[in-house]
Amino acid sequence: MAEPRRLTTFKRWRLADGVTLAHVRRVVEEAVVPHYRDLSDDVELGLEAADDRTIIAVQRWPSRAARDAAMSGPRFEAWWQAYLPVLARWDELVSLVDEWETEVLL
Domain count, the chain: 1
Cα–Cα–Cα angle for 84, 87, 90, rounded to 5 degrees: 160
pTM: 0.92
pLDDT tens for each residue of 44-96: 999 999 999 999 999 999 999 999 999 999 999 999 999 999 999 999 999 99
Within-domain flag for 16: yes
Is the pLDDT score of 1 beyond 80? no
Within-domain flag for 53: yes
Within-domain flag for 14: yes
Within-domain flag for 102: no
CATH number of residue 80's parent domain:
3.30.70
Range of the domain at 20: 7-86
Within-domain flag for 95: no
